[in-house]
Chains A and B, each alone.
Chain A
Amino acid sequence: MEFENLNNLQKDALKEIGNIGAGNAATSLSTLLNKRINMAVPNIFILPFSQVVELMGGAEKPVAGGYLQVSGIAPMSMLFVLPEDSLKLFLNILIGKPMSEKIQLDEMDISVLKEITNILAGSYLTALNGFTNIEFNPSVPALAFDMAGAILGNVLQLYGEVSDYALVIESIFMEEEKEVKGHFFLLPEPGTLEIMLQKLGVVF
């Protein structure tokens, strides 16, 4: 199935997947930060590769990206993106890293961010498993702090051989005062979509 041909019912089902998964992840995040985390209703985007990066504020924008691959019968990629400003605040709240003009990530920061990616993806996948019964096997997360385009490009290459479009389920988390804003991207591989939608009872 081509991503471009999804109908509204299928899109709504995907939105629901995003909603439940991200809701679970937001609860985990809230426990970690000991702050109330709000979550916007997820957006479903079917975009040409070059436009996906605009969701992250442009190709050159510095972001931290925690990435992991999920294997099994429904393979996908998960990417948790924090823009520079949110990243500073996030590390400040979590481990008391002093806020500075220019951010340099040390080993401690990197392992914290990897662990966050792990926890978020884990809670997301637990929710997905809860209503699809599909078993998901997440990889160990990898982390990069660099230009958004460079990070995303590396992830989108997975899909490059089969498509020019990516399906993105985007969840935005916000701390109460809207300071910490993270994006969570779920990028199903071709074929995964059919499997998940079928489990949800949405027929093609």
Chain B
Amino acid sequence: MDLIKVGMADLAVCKAPQKLITTGLGSCVGVCLYDLEKKVGGLAHIMLPDSTQAKSVQNVAKYADTGIVATIEKLMALGVDRSRILAKIAGGAQMFNFAGTSNIMRIGERNVEAVKKQLEQLKIKLVAEDTGGNFGRTIIFDPQNGQLHIRTINQGEKTI
């Protein structure tokens, strides 16, 4: 089976029967964008909410706003009709519990908010999500049927 690995702050697109995997998502968010008709999908491993806060953006995949746009562009380059693109997301956990909640500790939540806002602005339908909590996730996306498989260490496995 052809499994394409997407690292932290990275993105990739593929065509079925290839699948996309990103391992150990914590407060990062995995954004899957896909077209069921063409059986093409993309996965972005988003690390931070907002590229406009950065001094310079060398890696567009790192941020919710630029990462989603870049993934869509790559999908369109594979002949996908923009209006057919759907989305599923997972991640955005809070791994550490500090007594005082500093901003960094809320980053998972902020990432999820930013991803949703960007999808809404781009009028992309969010079909399913598995976000929040305090545990890590490994996710595998199959563009053949749009299924997103999620596995964890102590919270079992599921498909959304």
Contacts and interface: CB of A to CB of B under 8 A. Distances in A.
Physical interaction between A and B:
yes
A151 B47 contact: no
Contact of A162 (B55, B96, B98, B134): B55
Contacts of A98: none
B26 A151 contact: yes
Q: Tell me which of B7, B59, B94 has the highest count of chain A C-beta atoms within 10 A of its own C-beta.
A: B7
Chain B, interface SS category: loop
Chain A, interface SS category: mixed
Interface string A63-78: 0010101000000000
B95 A150 contact: yes
Interface stretch (B31-39, B67-75, B113-121, B135-143): B135-143
Q: Tell me which of B25, B97, B136 has the highest count of chain A C-beta atoms within 10 A of its own C-beta.
A: B136
A37 interface: no
Given A150-B26, A153-B27, A154-B27, A144 B62 contact: no
Contact of A154 (B53, B96, B137, B153): B96
A146 B107 CA distance: 17
A45 B108 CA distance: 26
Interface string B72-90: 0000000000000000000
Contacts of A109: none
Nearest to B25: A150
B98 A153 contact: no
A121 to B, nearest CB: 14
Contacts, number: 108
A171 to B, nearest CB: 21
A120 interface: no
Interface string A83-102: 00000000000000000000
Interface in A126-154: 139-140, 142-154
A162 B53 CA distance: 10
Contacts of A157: 27-28, 47-48, 104, 107
B47 A160 contact: yes
B53 A161 contact: yes
Interface band, chain A: 20 to 34
Given A151-B136, A161-B53, A146 B47 contact: no
Given A149-B25, A161-B54, A49 B97 contact: no
Contacts of A50: 7-10
B95 A154 contact: yes
B66 interface: no
A59 interface: yes
A58 B153 contact: no
Interface string B12-31: 00000000000111111000
Contacts of A60: 23-24, 138
A152 B8 CA distance: 10
B99 interface: yes
A144 B97 CA distance: 8
Interface of B: 7-10, 23-28, 47-48, 53-55, 58-59, 62, 93-99, 102, 104, 107-108, 134-138, 153-154
Interface of A: 49-50, 53, 58-60, 62, 65, 67, 69, 104, 139-140, 142-154, 156-158, 160-162, 164
Give 9 nearest A-B pairs by CB, closest first. Answer: A149-B24, A150-B136, A150-B26, A59-B24, A50-B7, A147-B136, A142-B96, A59-B23, A147-B24
